[in-house]
Structures are given as structure tokens and as C-alpha cells.
């Protein structure tokens, strides 16, 4: 909270602890990626290449959301069982979007 320039009480008004914040961040990263993949499907439907569009979209996610990508990558094998489960769930959603 201090690094973000907000009072600790403000943080706990929104999240009960750091785990809840982390899980929220994983959910948001997954949502961002799924939204990009939906946009990709619309481009594919209008005549784009499935493989090229999918790869381009994923690379766009890495480029524009590098912090979210690193979070997903890091927490996939992190120490928190809840984070690992959340990341696994987001990866499953992502593969279903493909």
C-alpha cells in the first residue's frame, strides 16, 4: 500500500489480504486474455488465418500486458495452492477460447 501511495486502510477496504489481491489479479489477467482471444475470433471469422491470428493475439497480450503475463507464468508454479489453482483455471479458459 505504501509503495502505491495509498493508506493501508484503503487497501484492506478492497481486499482482506494479499492473497485476495493476488487472486483478483490472476482473474483480471485471464479476463484480459480471453477478451483478446474473442477479438481474434472475430478477425478470423472475417477471413484471417486461425494460426497467425491466434499467435499474433497471444503475442499482443504479452506485449501490452507483460505484468499480467509474468504473474500468470510465475504463479503457475508458485507456492500458493490457491494461486496455482486460479492460474490453472485461467489457462483452461484460455485453451477453450482457442
Q: Which domains does the chain have, with CATH numbers?
A: 8-97 (1.10.357.10)
Q: Which three cell numbers stand for residue 5?
A: 501511495
The angle subtended at Cα 72 by Cα 3 and Cα 40, nearest 5°, is 115
**Mean pLDDT on 55-74:** 88
pLDDT band at 63 (very low <50, low <70, confident <90, very high): very high
Q: Which three cell numbers stand for residue 90?
A: 485461467
Residue 1 has pLDDT above 70, yes or no: no
Amino acid at each position: 500500500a505504501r509503495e502505491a501511495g495509498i493508506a493501508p486502510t484503503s487497501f484492506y477496504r478492497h481486499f482482506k489480504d494479499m492473497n485476495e489481491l493476488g487472486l483478483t489479479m490472476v482473474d483480471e489477467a485471464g479476463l484480459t486474455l480471453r477478451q483478446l482471444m474473442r477479438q481474434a475470433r472475430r478477425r478470423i471469422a472475417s477471413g484471417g488465418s486461425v494460426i497467425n491470428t491466434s499467435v499474433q493475439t497471444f503475442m499482443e497480450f504479452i506485449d501490452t500486458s507483460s505484468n499480467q503475463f509474468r504473474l500468470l507464468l510465475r504463479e503457475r508454479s508458485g507456492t500458493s495452492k490457491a494461486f496455482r489453482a486460479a492460474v490453472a483455471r485461467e489457462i483452461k479458459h484460455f485453451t477453450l477460447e482457442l
